[in-house]
Amino acid sequence: MSKQIVTEKDVGYIAKLAKIGLNKREKELYSGQINDILLFFARIKELNTEQIEPTFFEGTPSQHFHEDVVMPSLPQNIALGMTGCREDGYFEVPGIL
Amino acid sequence: MPLNELSVVDYLNKMNNREISAEQVLKDIFNQIDRIDKTVKSYLYLNKEEALSEAKKIDQKIKNNDIPPLAGLPVAINDNICTGGMETTAASRILKGFIPPYDATVIKRIKDAGGIIIGKTNLDEFAMGISNENSAFQITLNPWDRTRVPGGASGGSAAAVAADETLIALGTDTGGSVRLPASFCGISAIKPTYGRISRYGVIGCASSLEQIGIMGKGIKDLAILMNVISGYDELDSTSSHISTPDFLLSCREGINNLKFGIPKEFFSQDLDRGVKEKVIDSINRISQLGGKIEEVSLPNMEYALPAYSIIAMAEASSNLAKFDGISYGLRIEDSGDLEEMYLKTRGSGFGAEVIRRILLGTYVLTSNHYEDYYLKAQKIRSLIKKDFENVFKKFDLLIGPASPVPPFKLGEKEDEPLAQILAEIYTSPVNMAGLPAISINCGFTEKERLPVGLQIIGPPFQEEKILRVAYNLEQELKEINSVKPDLSF
């Protein structure tokens, strides 16, 4: 049996962080699969990278700033037109509290 | 010859000589789609009426001697690239019915040059996968063998090109997603250098890795579209200011005296024998054409795939956080509060592969695991980049297989999530270093007659050299590649 890195409880916790609702069967399924993939990821631990700097982006992202000019934005009716849940020119959301 | 079988080069020649009309070509394309797409299932959305009306306008313009550069060229678009006014779903249930209010920069450039968008092609949901089986809506079949997958993620575009349902197509490539399906479907595809083509309007998953790629029937076709869509875009802060050469001109030169490195790590025991044979045949042909061939080593390559997967999943978990059910896309709200709406919408809107990758990405970004996985992977990325820089001091280009295996059977790897990752073993290191690469069909396996893709990798912004070699090889392999898939069903 392969080493267990994550449990169903861990998967439940991660899913909550990622805001993805999972039932018990899904937690069980994903914990097994995620475990296998994490074992594959663990291969990178063999390599000593202590003195190596990370590369977060390839190339040099152009640090160009736009001129500070007022430009038209998406009209409100179009921005709101992509959801059925709107009211009085606002997005409608369920209660937060 | 039906006009849907034309290459882009022949299309433009015939249009310029007034031998054909854009409308005739579109009609032949839509006839082909009507005839075979119920089976092949390349397209998620067809833009038939608008496309035909555009074609008429272009034909009229041409009558008035105003010929735009693409002269009504029909182009298919992967469904994770935004097309204003046209449904764009990234093959996900969470985006079903989403109609973007704007065009991606590449779409705008194609339209401005007189190209016509004919429809949106299928892919693995949010471009996560290698087979197209992760699409929420349909599974595209490989035109060469309909019991097999077309590859992924941009499998719909690859199948559409191979089955003459378009003349050319766009896809996206995060770890091999235009090169793998090109290899599986016997066509050509280029993944340009990171920053060469604007990503504005791509439904991004792994922003530091992905690039828009071009998929076509021939190398010159790729060069023609590269000319149109490359170049700086102020709407994408990662787009490069480097000037755009005329890529078509690069196809004029020979390859005499170019030095080619063959990375020994690309010929490991994981490589299928039939694929290996064809790749070695092509390397020998390049040598006969005057190329200097030598074995090289990329010593950290075995760590590239796990490091790539960690970065891709971490970025995906962050990028996909925007799909929250509020301002667009699916919302599932039966009762309960905001938190419950998020959980239900995202839990049922995303498919299994996407959920698995979001969970893994979230895990490697948690404070307990960040250093061991995410930061470590970014350090390995520096080593991979260095490996490539070292070999490119001595060699012009690298050559190897695009995929370790030929197209596999539908369902064969469905229950093996790890297999979804392993197929990108030769393509993902290229994305880690932001390099350009191409996959070109180099023949068919002896036993099952399945297409095999050869990968040519170059230093940053050296697409011209890659296209030049690929074009020379294409001329060499003309006879082999003159075979077409049997679509008489």
Interchain proximity B340–A34, CB inside 8 Å: no
**pLDDT in the model for residue B373:** 97
Give pLDDT < 70 ranges for chain B: none
Q: Which residue of B has its CA nearest to A38?
A: B360
Strands B74-78 and B116-121: parallel
Asked if the C-beta of B341 comes within 8 angstroms of chain A's C-beta atoms, the answer is yes
* Residue B270 pLDDT: 84
How do B259-263 and B116-121 pair as beta strands?
Answer: unpaired
Q: Which residue of B has its CA nearest to A83?
A: B328
Question: Is a pLDDT exceeding 60 seen at residue A62?
Answer: no
Q: Please report the pLDDT score of residue A1 as a whole number.
A: 53
Alpha carbon distance B314, B373 (integer Å): 10
- The answer to whether A89 contacts chain B (CB < 8 Å) is no
The SS3 of residue A75 is coil
Residue spans of the domains in chain A: they are 8-46
Residue at B325: amino acid letter: G
Res B37: pLDDT: 98
The CATH number corresponding to B3-261+393-482 among 3.30.470.10, 3.90.1300.10, 3.90.550.10, 3.30.465.10 equals 3.90.1300.10
Dist. CA B283–CA B277, nearest whole Å: 10
Give the model's pLDDT for residue A64.
66
A97 close to B (CB below 8 A): yes
- Beta-carbon pairs below 8 A across chains A and B: 171
* Nearest alpha carbon to residue B165 among B400, B405, B5: B5
Inform me whether the C-beta atom of residue B415 falls under 8 Å from chain A C-beta atoms.
no
* Residue ranges of domains in chain B: 3-261+393-482
Separation between Cα atoms, residue B467 and residue B193, nearest integer Å: 13
Residue A59: is its pLDDT beyond 70?
Answer: no
Cα–Cα dist B111/B109, whole Å: 5
State the helix-helix crossing angle for B48-63 and B22-40, rounded to 10 degrees: 160
Closest CA–CA distance from residue A91 to any residue of chain B (Å): 7
pLDDT at B258: 97
pLDDT at B274: 96
A5 touching B (Cβ < 8 Å): no
Beta carbons of A94 and B337 less than 8 Å apart: yes
Instruction: Tell me how many degrees the CA angle A75-A79-A80 measures, rounded to the nearest 5.
Output: 115
Which fold would CATH assign to domain A8-46? Histone, subunit A (1.10.20)
CA proximity to B76, closest of B29, B135, B35? B29
C-beta atoms of B99 and A6 within 8 A: no
Reduce the DSSP state of residue B287 to 3 states and report it. Answer: helix
The per-residue pLDDT for B479 is 87
The predicted pLDDT at position B62 comes to 96
| In the predicted structure, residue A63 carries a pLDDT above the cut 70 | no
Residues in A 28-87 with any Cβ partner in B closer than 8 A = 30, 33-34, 36-38, 40-41, 43-47, 49, 52-59, 61-64, 66, 74, 78-79, 81-85
